[in-house]
Amino acid sequence: MDTTKQFATDMDSHDKMRKYKVEFYLSENQLYMDGNSLGLMSKRSEATLHKLISSWRDKGIDGWTEGEEPWFMYPELLSERVAKLVGANGTEVMVTGSITVNIHQMLSTLFHPTVERSVIVVDELNFPSDIYAVESHLRLRGLNPAVSLRKVKSNDGYTLTLHAIEEMLTEDVAILLLPSVLYRSGQLLDLGRITEMAHSKGIIVGFDLAHSVGAVPHQLHTDNVDFAIWCHYKYMNSGPGGTGGLYIHERHHHELPGLAGWFGSNKTKQFDMSHDFSKADGAGAYQIGTPNLLSTAPLSGSVELFEEVGMEAIRSKSLALTKYLRDLVHAELGTYGFVDVTPTADEARGGHIALAHPEAARICKALKEANVIPDFRTPDIIRLAPISFYSSFVDVWEMVQRLKKIMDEDTFKTFSNERNVVA
Ligand SMILES: *Cc1c(COP(=O)(O)O)cnc(C)c1O
């Protein structure tokens, strides 16, 4: 491969998304490779947040119904735009809650255990919060997680095979909950295939899209996925704690919310203040209380960027960046013991590259000192996510040079090989 800086410069000159870098706040000389954990702030997000703050300042309570973007319909209108990015109908998506809260909402709504079917299947590599949420639902229904929670096993500790997933889909399973992209290895699962496999056994399927929304195009509706949940603060750059999202296929919209609240009401009836709940028709029914508008507003500006560029173009640049990063690591750092654990095929990898290394924790500390922002995941993973909107090929090239210098000069050995509190 061509490892010269000139090659990276040429790639950048052909990149149609390069003009978007100035839309984001990047620190001078810093290479930010952690947009899969917390995306950077865009000027458009900042503007829509300021707009919301001004409406509060200028209108007080009337902000709910007056002004350019009245708060009462703000999440609903935004949800229709987000729905397009995940391949859902406008009524199937709601911008609300957080990943964990939305898992609770979807399980309390769709998990109806019976004597014959009471098992929930997850995978042994999933993020802890998802597992805690699922276990609590089993306990709430008087079921024992040691019996009713099953985990798809991984052969290599990093990825899942379709075969291993299929083996778990027995007649006593009620719900299958998997990530779209595994948060450590970056493996992208085939949502359509898995949904088909599960449906053939009468199992409801949900996906956690934390690591794919804003990075990978989805067709949730045509893939027939039953439900999905995600956050917007990773690839969608909506800010720390930004409001999350949920999708629920329209065939389930008759279901009463398991966790009901007045914001799940039909909008025209909500202020009747009746004790009889009039459920909203679509995914809006699964909102609970008053929306966190200050945490929602940045998403509006961000979505504009995604609408402008389109998910296909975002994905194709992301694939080119991660391929380039992987190839450069192999060419430049081949002798340093990095094991690339992200699947190679385009259709099997999300938006980041994961490198396993026994010294990962302190290599990450050395990278930070060299003004590269990586992401460490215990026990031995360095995640690197070049982001289509604000990373260039030269950034990737420069990052690999800084990493090479750290390895050549053993700089990482001056740090302890333990994780920080937030890592
Ligand atoms: C980021 C992430 C979470 C975080 O959940 P929150 O409720 O937003 O704190 C949960 N699950 C997965 C798979 C994640 O990647």
Domains and CATH numbers, the chain: 5-32+310-414 (3.90.1150.10), 48-307 (3.40.640.10)
Cα 2 to ligand 1 centroid, rounded to whole Å: 37
Which one of 98, 231, 292, 299 would you pick to mutate in the ligand 1 pocket, going by the greatest count of ligand atoms within 8 A of its CB? 231
DSSP assignments along 245-284, one per residue: EEEE-GGGTTSPPSS--GGGB-TTTGGG--SS--B-SSGG
Number of CB atoms found within 10 A of residue 147's CB: 10
CB atoms within 10 A of CB 119: 20
Compute the Cα dihedral for 399, 402, 403, 404 and give only its sign.
positive
State the DSSP H helix or E strand holding residue 193, giving kind and residue range, or none if neither. Answer: helix 191-199
Q: What are phi and psi of 15, to 5 degrees?
A: -85, 115
> How large is the angle between the packed helices 5-13 and 311-333, nearest 10 degrees?
180
**Pocket of ligand 1 from Cβ distances under 6 Å:** 98-100, 127, 129-130, 179, 183, 208, 210-211, 231, 244
Looking at residue 418, its pLDDT comes to: 82
- Tokens standing for residue 16: 């149609």
Q: What 8-state DSSP symbol labels residue 279?
A: B
Whole-number Cα distances in Å, 225 to 71, 86, 117, 208, 276: 30, 11, 19, 11, 31
Residue with CA nearest ligand 1 atom 13: 127
Atom of ligand 1 nearest to the CA of 99: 7
pLDDT at position 171 is 96
Q: Which residues of the chain have pLDDT under 50?
A: none
Burial readout 404-416 (b: 16 or more C-beta within 10 A, e: otherwise): eebbeeebbeebe
Which one-letter amino acid corresponds to residue 342?
T
Q: Which atom of ligand 1 is nearest to the CA of 37?
A: 1
State the distance from the centre of ligand 1 to the C-alpha of 210, rounded, in angstroms.
6
- Residue 363's pLDDT is 96
Residue 173, beta-bridge partner list = 119
Q: What confidence score (pLDDT) does residue 419 get?
A: 77
Q: Which pTM value belongs to this model?
A: 0.97
Question: Is residue 18 a contact partner of residue 313, using CB atoms and an 8 Å limit?
Answer: no
